[in-house]
Structure 1
Amino acid sequence: MTPVRDSPDLSAVRDALVGADRVVMTTHLRPDGDAIGTELALARALQTLGKTVTVLNADRVPRNLDWLAEEQPAGLLHVYESGDLAQAQAVADADVLLVVDANAAHRLGDVGDVFRKAGKPVLLLDHHPDPERWFDVACVRTDTAAAAEIAYDLIAGIDPALIDRAVATALYVGIMTDTGSFRYGATTPRTHAIVADVLERGDLRPEPIHVAIFDGRSREGLALLSASLATITTHYDGRLATLFVTQDMVRQSGAFFDETEGLINYGLALDGVLAAVIFLELPSGVKLSFRSKGDCPINGWATRFGGGGHPNASGAFVKDGQLARTMKDVIDAAPPHVAADPALAADDGGLSDADLALLAQFKGTLE
């Protein structure tokens, strides 16, 4: 077994969960593999200990994780609905509330308001920097590759035998997806050691999990991929790549919106590109995802637009933002983060005539 890396803050979160009879947990909007994997690993371990656990998220599980959701006990996973009396009762009856993989109320959607107004202790388990201060007990480890790594330490610190096949599968999904299949810079030797222990304890084979998550793209999703690749543009002597997806592109392709996941990696894969940004047009604004390679921190860049995250992977949301305007603002703000040459920083990195023509071709409505 990989030795547990304990700490006073993790022990405090662990003790609160072990001491509770009823727990309700949540995570960020549009939950990813790490968010869902961390929730389910903790939920299943706590259920084994006899706890009553409810997972209450603002958004449903992404389609490529439907298989994981289907393996869970009935009544564990819920999508929040205002006015649902059973959900309100679960929060009212909870001894503690737990937030994972997100550290700000607005990132939790409507569940954030529910948690803050519940009058119950709220715990935090996260690996993103600069958490908001309303959590009663917080364990934040920015040196971990995934929130699921922290969940491993929490669970193994209670009893390693709790890591059965169900818990191991959820932990593996969380760590593997948030490390980009173990290729991102935050991946450490300890990440691999934890995964080795998880695979052994759960008697897991990685291949079926990878196939279920990554090899299920629909024909419509491939059509959306093709359309988005046509929007890739480089800026600042090829150091920055951008791409976008409009509402019309999603409609015309027939794809599900969650099939935009991973598209940013195609921009980042270009030779010479240090950072990439994808702009996703939503009815309520523009979602931004930032990625970078090596020693090119982009979380400060995301912060300028109300977001944040890790040095190499961050996000933001521009509420009521218009796509073309948001793209220009973000690209114009890029030089301090991606341009090593002062002369490049002085260049106009905004939208060219060709960029604007492409935007016009894919122009979507915000209905």
Structure 2
Amino acid sequence: MNNSDKNQIWDLFTSDKKSFCVISHTNPDGDAMGSALAMKLLLKKLGHEAEVLVPNIYPDYYAWLKDADKIIIGDEQRDKAVDCIEEADILLFMDLNKVRRVEGLDEFLLASDAPKILFDHHVGPDEVFKLQFARTDVSSTCELVYEFISEFDKSLLDKDIADCLYTGIVTDTGNYFHGNITAGTFRITADLIDLGIDVLEINQKVYNTFSESRIRMLGHSLINRMEVLHDKETVVMYLTKDDLKKFNDQEGDTEGIVNYGLTIKGIKISALFIERAQYIKISFRSEGDVNVNQIAVNYYDGGGHKNASGAYFYGSIEDAILRFKQALNEIEL
């Protein structure tokens, strides 16, 4: 990203009325939800038409965010999702670096001639994006959205946008526990509080409204599905399809489980393997200078950040875990 990209994006946002399709990734998390909804609210303020599109349903603990109930869910509203893409003047991608992360809709996105704009904080973005506001030295895409709005017209920020941005920041940092947290992250948070957000209320909605089955699945993960590799300072956890069925897994129920591995004294790496219908979904977390992104990129179909990355594996969960253990033996972390 360069300043000319940022300025060109703002020029587009403040030009004649346009239709935007604001898109984020499969299994939308707090940063995906917060950044996409904040951008929709901004675009509406600037006089544009805007819809948010995600490939599948989001966790219910984000349903309180402004206009979350108006999000187009790709695998439930396919015709509406395709119309959003094909009728848009501009495709605006939030919190993803690869178009293929919009599962089930990527072919329509790539076929569109509409300009593709990216706001993101992951490494290695696709080359299809005409304009980018992308940096890897920030906590979240929501932090970038705040910086973008503040630089050009801070008066456009309001409580609804602030609620969205705080949600992305607090979740992508694990409640300010990991990620690229800087003094600027806390200054932004203070500004959002000044805009009227209720930190205690949002934290309650995001972290303390879980179902009983989710908590029981967490307990099962820690008691029955966790292996500690003391010599590698690593924790490996997994959940099978039968586990997910037993605990009535809902979207978002496995979010955050991987972080528990790092709460063990002396552990520097935590990995969670989840057996889904068509692939194994993997989450990696690490402490300090330990770079788990190189495992996600070099051993799996994945990527992300130094201390927090994700990946997919197309095979058995046993083979996915075996490959991880081989990676621990082969690379210098």
- TM-score of the aligned structures, taking structure 1 as reference length: 0.85
Q: Report the CA distance between 1:63 and its aligned residue.
A: 1.8
In structure 2, distance between residues paired with 1:84 and 1:105? 17
Q: Residues 64 and 216 of structure 1 are in contact (CA less than 8 Å); yes or no, is this contact kept in structure 2?
A: yes
Task: Tell me how many residue pairs correspond in the alignment.
Answer: 330
Instruction: Report what 2:307 is aligned to.
Output: 312
Q: Pick from 215, 224, 229: which aligns with 2:222? A: 229
Alignment of 1:1-367 (within 5 A): 7-19=3-15, 21-68=18-65, 71-72=66-67, 76-81=70-75, 84-201=78-195, 203-230=196-223, 231-235=225-229, 237-304=231-298, 305-319=300-314, 321-336=315-330
Change in Cα spacing, 1:82 to 1:214, as seen in structure 2 (3 Å) is closer
Q: CA deviation at 1:335?
A: 3.2
Q: Secondary structure at the match of 1:210?
A: helix
Q: Is the 8 A contact 1:26 1:111 kept in 2?
A: no
Bigger shift: residues 182-191 or 233-242: 233-242
Secondary structure of the corresponding residue to residue 16 of structure 1: helix
Q: Give the Cα–Cα distance (whole angstroms) in 2 for the partners of residues 240 and 338 of structure 1.
A: 14
> Which blocks of at least 5 consecutive residues in structure 1 are unaligned?
1-5, 340-367
Residue identity in the other structure for 1:29 = T
1:246–1:81 CA distance, 2 compared to 1 (3 A): closer
Say if 1:188 and 1:255 are closer, same or farther in 2 by CA, change over 3 A: same
Structure 1 residue 109: Cα displacement: 0.9
Following superposition, the deviation at residue 84 of structure 1 comes to: 4.6
Asked whether the 8 Å contact 2:20–2:91 carries over to 1, the reply is yes
Q: In the aligned structure 2, how far is the partner of 1:29 from the partner of 1:103?
A: 12
Query: Structure 2 CA distance, aligned partners of 1:80 and 1:249?
Result: 26
Instruction: State the alpha-carbon separation in 1 of the partners of residues 282 and 252 from structure 2.
Output: 14
Q: Which amino acid aligns with 1:108?
A: V
Query: What per-residue deviation string (whole Å, max 9, x for no partner) do you get for residues 93-138 of structure 1?
Result: 3221111110112211123222111111000111001111111112
Letter in 2 for 1:25: V
Letter in 2 for 1:224: M
Which AA in structure 2 matches 1:210?
A: N
Q: Offset at 1:338?
A: 6.7
- Is the contact between residue 58 and residue 251 of structure 2 (CA under 8 Å) also seen in structure 1? no
**1:100 aligned partner, one-letter code:** M
Separation (CA, whole Å) in 1 of partners of 2:221 and 2:28: 22
Q: Secondary structure at the match of 1:307?
A: strand
Aligned sequence identity (%): 29
CA distance in 2, matches of 1:73, 1:179: 22
Contact 2:73 2:81 survives alignment (8 Å): no
Contact 2:275-2:281 within 8 A present in 1 as well: yes
CA RMSD of aligned residues (A): 2.0
Between Structure 1 and Structure 2, whose CA radius of gyration is higher? 1
SS in 2 for 1:186: coil
For each residue in 1:28-66, what CA deviation from the matched residue of structure 2 results, as whole angstroms up to 9, or x when unmatched? 110100011000111101111111001111012212212
Secondary structure (helix, strand or coil) at the match of 2:301 reads coil
304-313 vs 7-16, which deviates more?
Answer: 7-16
How far off is 1:81 after superposition?
A: 4.6
Q: Which amino acid aligns with 2:96?
A: A
TM-score normalised according to structure 2 size: 0.93
Q: Would you say the 8 A contact 2:90–2:116 is kept in 1?
A: yes
Q: Distance in 2 between matches of 1:300 and 1:108?
A: 23
State the secondary structure of the residue aligned to 1:241: strand
Stretches of structure 2 lacking an aligned partner (at least 5 in a row): none
Distance 1:14 1:252 in 2: 49
CA distance in 1, matches of 2:106, 2:79: 17
1:361 matched residue in structure 2:
none
CA distance in 1, matches of 2:162, 2:328: 40
CA positional deviation for 1:257: 4.8
Letter paired with 1:308: G
The 8 Å contact of residues 17 and 96 in structure 1, kept in 2 or not, is answered as no
